Structure 1
């Protein structure tokens, strides 16, 4: 059974490990893992140590299996990491739904996120959940020491109200 809850400070070490394992899978073929894993680990440690209150975790049968965050508490889902042995079990879908609910509760009508364009598994996952590609760019990544193609995705979460007069418009 999947349960989504707020992160606790004592979850941080396990969440770092989940983030690193998921990151390594996501950037395979894009980055030199031996060189960049330490940078990724440091980034996860710094982010989670300072922002664990902004993180939701998913447990599968009581075991931490993934986490997600809205780092800036805006309409962007900045992180969604599922431990590779737990992928394809509905955990990502549960975390994504929790993040989308937070976006709507914060007063936003759409959610946005980004990933590297070669992460076809993630892009496919988000498209399956109603996200559409909104932009594509190529930028130099100092952390990866190379140009990286990034893709931005967006999903409308709140339906637009019909324009018109009266309860049903015209």
Structure 2
């Protein structure tokens, strides 16, 4: 049994730990150096402590198991992290679907995100959920204080009405 709710300020450190563990599982195998570990841990703590109002938490049996964020509360999903011990149980899919519903409720027609280009597990996850890769870039990431190769992905959430020729009624 799982529930999805808004984050609370008093759990920011726990959410940072969940995000960090998921990041570490995904990124160390694709070549992120161990030297980045402290930087990533600090980035997660800074983010969850300052942006907790933008975070949605998924709980399993009453315990936080993952979270997602939209820093600007727009169509851009900036974070989606499931604790490694809870991965492959449908929690990421449920959390993503809830975030997408919230994006639509707030009047946006599509969702967008970016992820590390070499994090194939994440790219595959989002493609499985209807996202398509639209760009590849290398850019400075201020949270990690270095250049990161990323892919941009998006998904149309609301059907676009076709516009035809002639008179509209």
CA contact (8 A) 1:36 1:144 kept: no
Shift of 1:77: 0.1
Alpha-carbon distance between aligned partners in 1 of 2:162 and 2:3, rounded to the nearest angstrom: 36
Structure 2 gap segments, 5+ residues each: none
User: Number of matched residues?
Assistant: 164
Q: What is the rounded CA distance, in whole Å, between the counterparts of 1:5 and 1:140 in structure 2?
A: 32
**Structure 1 moving runs of 4+ over 4 Å:** none
Structure 1 154/31 Cα, relative in aligned 2: closer, same or farther at 3 Å? Answer: same
Q: 1:153 to 1:133 in 2, by over 3 A?
A: same
SS at structure 1 position matched to 2:134: strand
Q: Secondary structure at the match of 2:76?
A: coil
Q: Pairwise CA RMSD of aligned residues?
A: 1.5
Structure 2 distance, partners of 1:49, 1:151, is: 27
Q: How far 1:118 moved relative to its partner?
A: 0.7
Asked whether the equivalents of residues 134 and 154 of structure 1 are also in contact (C-alpha less than 8 Å), the reply is yes
TM-score under structure 2 normalisation? 0.91
How many angstroms apart in 2 are the aligned matches of 1:57 and 1:90? 14
Residues 20 and 41, structure 1, Cα contact 8 Å, conserved in 2: yes
TM-score (norm 1): 0.90
